[in-house]
């Protein structure tokens, strides 16, 4: 509903610090804008806002939580959180501004598919970013090309991939008693669907609890789409038909590298509790990279010199000249860490990795994962007329919702403003030096007579320097005389 939208539009001032510049997207009760800092108009960020409506499950708190934890781990595949706060009818977070998503890039390509090199570079980085999310104890639950974006086009960071949109993520690692250890959350019996039909796993469609392997199934579907241009079930809305097509891997495996098929074979033996063998999956992708004689110095499709660079030339200069661009170098060789030779991986290793017994006892029966679960047991936001079967209703207990606190990251914002002021002062000094040099040049006369002798005469009774240059028919300098009088 439009009435539930955040009260933000182009030219709105957010938290007295940010000016809404243009809308980047919207959905549900949220919206995302490109914003400029009022005090530093050249610095642009992304501001994601969500209405504080009580009949809607908030997603921004989870987004803030996951980004904060990834920032603590210094993840290079995650945006940097700049500030959080609350407006008139919305809460918001401000983060670094990125370039186009992989979905937007692929739709721009004439073939709707990436080159094998670009597909591998993106797939390896996507795998690394998903692994980082799992290592901090969360499942993304909506892995798809639209939730991965490169840095700004035309900058070194256009080769670096970032993972986005953690609004429907779920924490699967929780504290285990008072000992400070962690344990895997037990899966629930009833799970609402979370994700995107085209890329979600079969288990997600069957309303089973999503684990780490479900994120990787989504990545596998992404890789197939990158290489082949489309998925067999693209455009089909009937879930039953999609499940049947996903379970029939014959068409998926046709036309892709054998390592991609082995990638899927490993995922097929994993369960909710099982930890995927990320190193093995990464080595499978790197084996293709090495066998094709690729190297990190090659160009990805969208950068200058890449296969489809002509389709992105105009997009590299879409931002105004006043906008500061992050020109930090990206060491792709270090990110990919390509080995010197292929790793010998057998199907026995694929099937043996991660094989565990399936323990489904003691399932959690909570239905709504947007509610904070207490140590004493799960809670549900089920209507009062439908109490939990084993728990008496208690109308005195209030459901605790997660909200982003109003307190901004003052130190980080002030640091940005100070750096901007310093750069402005440096630019002013450089302008003054250029003006002085220009004024000095105006005091000199440059005379070009008909004999091609350039006479430079200084005012104030100085010496005159005469330079004679004669040229041959080929246009090259054959003789040069310099004399001082």
pLDDT, tens digit, for every residue of 17-62?
999 999 998 876 789 999 999 988 888 999 999 988 766 678 999 9
**Parallel, antiparallel, or unpaired: how do β-strands 13-14 and 18-27 relate?**
antiparallel
pLDDT range class, residue 199, cuts 50, 70, 90: very high
pLDDT range class, residue 360, cuts 50, 70, 90: very low
Record the tokens describing residue 307, joined without a space.
């296969």
* 142 counts as catalytic: yes
Please provide the CATH number assigned to the domain covering 2-96.
3.30.200.20
Rounded to an integer, what distance in angstroms lies between the CA atom of residue 251 and that of residue 265? 15
**More confident position, 473 or 430:** 430
pLDDT range class, residue 117, cuts 50, 70, 90: very high
Record the tokens describing residue 53, joined without a space.
């409506």
Cα angle for residues 185, 190, 193 (degrees, 5° grid): 95
Query: Has this prediction a pTM greater than 0.85?
Result: no
Element spanning 55, H or E: none
Rounded to an integer, what distance in angstroms lies between the CA atom of residue 113 and that of residue 117? 11
Largest CA distance in the chain: 108
* Contact indicator for 285, 227 with CB cutoff of 8 Å: no
Summarised one tens digit per residue, pLDDT across range 138-179 is 999 999 999 999 999 999 999 999 999 999 999 999 988 777
* Contact indicator for 24, 34 with CB cutoff of 8 Å: yes
Does 3.30.420.40 match the CATH number of domain 102-352? no
> What pLDDT does 397 receive?
38
Catalytic residue among 55, 103, 128, 142: 142
Look over the chain and give the mean of its residue pLDDT values, rounded to a whole number. Answer: 81
**More confident position, 431 or 123:** 123
Q: Where are the domains of the chain?
A: 2-96, 102-352, 444-484
Summarised one tens digit per residue, pLDDT across range 225-261 is 999 999 999 999 999 999 999 998 888 999 899 999 9
**More confident position, 89 or 2:** 89
Find, among 217, 222, 233, 321, the residue nearest to 270 by Cα.
Answer: 217
Phi and psi, residue 188, nearest 5°: -85, 155
Q: Is 74 exposed, middle or buried (0-12, 13-18, 19+ CB in 10 A)?
A: exposed
Within 8 A by CB and 6+ apart from 59, the residues are 28, 30, 50, 167, 168
- CA distances to 29, 177, 407 from 86, in Å: 15, 34, 9
Q: Is 108 exposed, middle or buried (0-12, 13-18, 19+ CB in 10 A)?
A: middle
Summarised one tens digit per residue, pLDDT across range 269-322 is 999 999 999 999 999 999 999 999 999 999 999 999 999 999 887 666 555 666
């Amino acid at each position: 509903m439009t009435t539930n939208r955040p009260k933000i539009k182009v030219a709105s001032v957010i938290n007295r610090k940010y000016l809404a510049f243009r809308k980047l997207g919207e959905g549900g009760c949220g919206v995302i804008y490109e914003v400029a800092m009022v005090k530093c108009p050249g610095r642009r960020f992304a501001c994601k806002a969500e209405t504080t409506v009580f009949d809607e499950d908030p997603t921004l708190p989870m987004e803030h939580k996951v980004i904060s934890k990834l920032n603590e781990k210094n993840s290079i595949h995650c945006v940097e959180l700049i500030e959080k706060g609350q407006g008139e009818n919305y809460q918001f977070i401000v983060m670094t501004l990125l370039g186009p998503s992989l979905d937007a890039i692929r739709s721009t390509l004439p073939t709707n598919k990436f080159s094998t090199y670009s597909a591998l570079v993106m797939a390896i980085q996507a795998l690394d970013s998903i692994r980082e999310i799992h290592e901090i104890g969360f499942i993304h639950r909506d892995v798809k090309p639209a939730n991965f974006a490169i840095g700004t086009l035309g900058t070194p960071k256009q080769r670096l991939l970032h993972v986005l949109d953690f609004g429907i993520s779920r924490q699967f690692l929780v504290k285990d008693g008072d000992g400070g250890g962690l344990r895997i959350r037990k899966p629930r019996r009833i799970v609402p669907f979370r994700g995107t039909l085209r890329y979600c796993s079969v288990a997600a469609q069957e309303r089973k609890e999503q684990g780490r392997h479900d994120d990787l199934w989504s990545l596998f579907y992404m890789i197939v789409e990158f290489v082949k241009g489309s998925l067999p079930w693209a455009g089909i809305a009937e879930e039953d038909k999609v499940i049947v097509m996903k379970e029939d891997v014959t068409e998926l495996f046709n036309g892709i590298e054998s390592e991609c098929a082995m990638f899927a074979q490993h995922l097929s033996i994993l369960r909710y509790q099982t930890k995927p063998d990320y190193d093995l999956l990464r080595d499978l992708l790197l084996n293709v990279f090495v066998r094709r004689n690729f190297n990190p110095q090659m160009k990805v499709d969208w950068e200058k010199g890449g296969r489809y660079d002509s389709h992105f030339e105009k997009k590299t200069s879409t931002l105004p000249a006043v906008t500061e661009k992050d020109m930090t170098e990206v060491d792709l060789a270090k990110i990919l860490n390509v080995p010197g030779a292929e790793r010998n991986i057998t199907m026995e290793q694929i099937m043996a990795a991660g094989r565990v017994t399936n323990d489904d006892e003691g399932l959690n029966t909570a239905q709504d994962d947007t509610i904070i679960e207490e140590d004493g047991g799960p809670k549900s936001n089920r209507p009062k007329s439908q109490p939990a079967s084993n728990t008496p209703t208690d109308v005195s207990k209030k459901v605790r919702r997660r909200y982003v606190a109003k307190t901004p990251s003052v130190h980080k914002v002030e640091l940005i403003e100070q750096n901007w002021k310093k750069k402005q002062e440096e630019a002013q000094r450089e302008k003054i030096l250029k003006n002085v040099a220009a004024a000095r040049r105006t005091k000199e006369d440059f005379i070009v007579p008909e004999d091609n002798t350039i006479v430079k005469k200084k005012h104030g009774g100085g010496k005159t320097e005469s330079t004679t240059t004669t040229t041959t028919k080929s246009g090259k300098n054959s003789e040069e005389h310099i004399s001082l009088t």
